[in-house]
Amino acid sequence: MDIQQKINEGALMFQKIYEIAAEYLVKYGFQVLGGIIILAVGLKLASWVSKVFASFCEKKKLDVTLTKFLSGIVYIVIMVFVVMMSVEKFGITINPLIAAASAAIFGASFAIQAPLSNYAAGLMVILTRPFIVGNTISVQGVSGIVHEVKLPNTVLMTEDGETITIPNKDIVGHILYNSAECKVVEKSVGVSYTDSPEKAIQIIRRVIESSPNVSKNHRPQVGIESFGDSSINIGMRYWVFTKEFHPSMYAINLAIHNAFREAKIIMPCPQREVRMLNSLETVK
């Protein structure tokens, strides 16, 4: 009898669960299905709209970083509305969730002030655009080509392929050097006082201008920099593409040396004249 009673109780419980599930499906089934459909369609719609918006920005020749940022904002805004609509279909009231999320964000803001400052600085960088992807910048003692600008940080790439990640709060408010896609080379070479400095300047200028890696947007600057003890120092300033900075500089230095040798221009070594004086005096 006990076993039969337990079987009957189990069947009764199963029947009650079935009835509750059936009632829930009849009452909320279409709402749940509608919420799932809204969420799925919203995901596709948000992705499609953000891509269309990004293509529009590219056609308008907007900056790559600003394009990514704006298209990301469009995607987030659409998804917020989609999630709100789908949650309502599940029968969940949104107002308490919004209040709880606001309280949580307010409390967490004190613990994440540093990351938030990076995000705020990143937003400032994206909107003011002191540099764009492909520029060469120097800040806080580091230098490199801007590879990517994100909200929390900026990623630089050196000519050696090294990645440098700088928090955006360390960029905003500090001295920033931006030399576009190029980097300046500042060097000097000494020539003998017996040689013509005009001839040496012409040779250096010709070598620099013939190099394929020297920027044509900046005119090379060559002239007498100083007068040394044993040489006239010819200074030079020219701009090369950052990705080829050191190879270009080394090649130009070698070309100048070979050109001076062909033109028989002497690059003197430092010289010192030493005289030995007799310090003994005859005392009369």
Q: How far apart are CA 284 and CA 280, in angstroms?
A: 13
Tokens matching residue 83: 């999630």
pLDDT digits (tens, 9 = 90+) for 158-203: 888 889 999 998 998 888 989 888 889 999 999 999 999 999 999 9
Instruction: Check if the beta carbon of residue 191 is closer than 8 Å to that of residue 267.
Output: yes
CATH of the domain at 237: 3.30.70.100
Q: Are 222 and 263 in contact (CB under 8 A)?
A: no
Number of domains making up the chain: 3
Residue 118 lies in a domain: no
The answer to whether residues 12 and 71 belong to one domain is yes
For residues 75 and 47, give the distance between their C-alpha atoms in angstroms, rounded to a whole number: 6
- In this structure, the answer to whether residues 10 and 69 fall within a common structural domain is yes
In a domain, 204, yes or no: yes
Is residue 84 within 8 A of residue 97, CB to CB? The reply is no
CATH of residue 74: 1.10.287.1260
pTM of the model: 0.57
**Closest listed residue to residue 184, CA positions, set 253, 255, 248:** 248
Kindly report the CATH number assigned to the domain that includes residue 159. Answer: 2.30.30.60
Give residue-wise pLDDT tens across range 85-135: 777 766 666 666 566 556 555 554 555 556 678 888 888 888 888 888 889
Which residue segment(s) compose the domain that 144 sits in?
130-178
39 and 93 Cβ atoms separated by less than 8 Å: no
Looking at the structure, do residues 145 and 223 belong to the same domain, yes or no? no
Same domain, 16 and 104: yes
Q: Last residue of a domain, which of 161, 178, 195?
A: 178
The answer to whether residues 135 and 228 belong to one domain is no
